[in-house]
Amino acid sequence: MKKQIGFTLLELMITLVIFGTIVSAAVPKLQSLLERSSIESLTPLFERSLKYARDEAIGKNLTVQILPREVGSDWSQGWKVQYITLGGAVEDLRSFDPLPGSPTFTSTDFSTTNPIKIAGTGQVEKTGDIFLHYPGCAGMQKIQFSLLISGILKKSKIAC
């Protein structure tokens, strides 16, 4: 009688079915984990850009504004930081690229027609909120940026 070496076709097929089942269950969880990680990596970018705008406003003692690059209130397509000269002209300071993936980054308080305006004192003209999340958001994965009158940005996680 010969000693069997290796696997039979049936054993290999059963192993592949079990592996396929495990992978198909794990992929949605992994995608959710990657999106949550991506959201966490995007939040400092917006926080730093607001801090940059506030520092520029104080340093230049001029009004600096932050607004979406595209018309409307969709911040996911990028945003720009501009300052308003004493003569009223608007000069670009910096522009930020669109966010990777397909996040929802919107505000009912701030848009291209109603930008975030920071005075030379560092205070903002108007307070408001901007929300960031990915499609399929579940649990506490939505980020809320609340702009305080002091020009400081408060970040919190809220339910989707």
User: Digits of tens for pLDDT over the chain (160 positions)?
Assistant: 667 677 788 888 898 889 888 877 766 666 655 555 566 777 888 999 999 999 999 999 999 999 999 999 999 999 999 999 888 899 999 999 988 878 889 999 999 999 999 999 999 999 999 998 887 777 777 889 999 999 999 999 888 8
Q: Which residues pair with 67 in a beta bridge?
A: 80
Domain assignment present for 19? yes
User: How far is the C-alpha of 55 from the C-alpha of 48, rounded, in Å?
Assistant: 10
Whether 2 is in a domain gets the answer: no
- Assigned token pair, 7: 């696997």
**Number of domains observed in the structure of the chain:** 1
Q: Return d(Cα 83, Cα 54) in angstroms, integer.
A: 11
Question: Residue 5 falls within a domain, yes or no?
Answer: no
Q: What CATH number is associated with residue 67?
A: 3.55.40.10
Q: Establish if 4 belongs to a structural domain.
A: no
Is residue 131 situated within a structural domain? yes
Residue 3 located in a structural domain: no
Residues 149 and 56: their CA atoms lie apart, in Å, by 17
pTM metric for this prediction = 0.73
State the residue range of the domain holding 53: 11-158
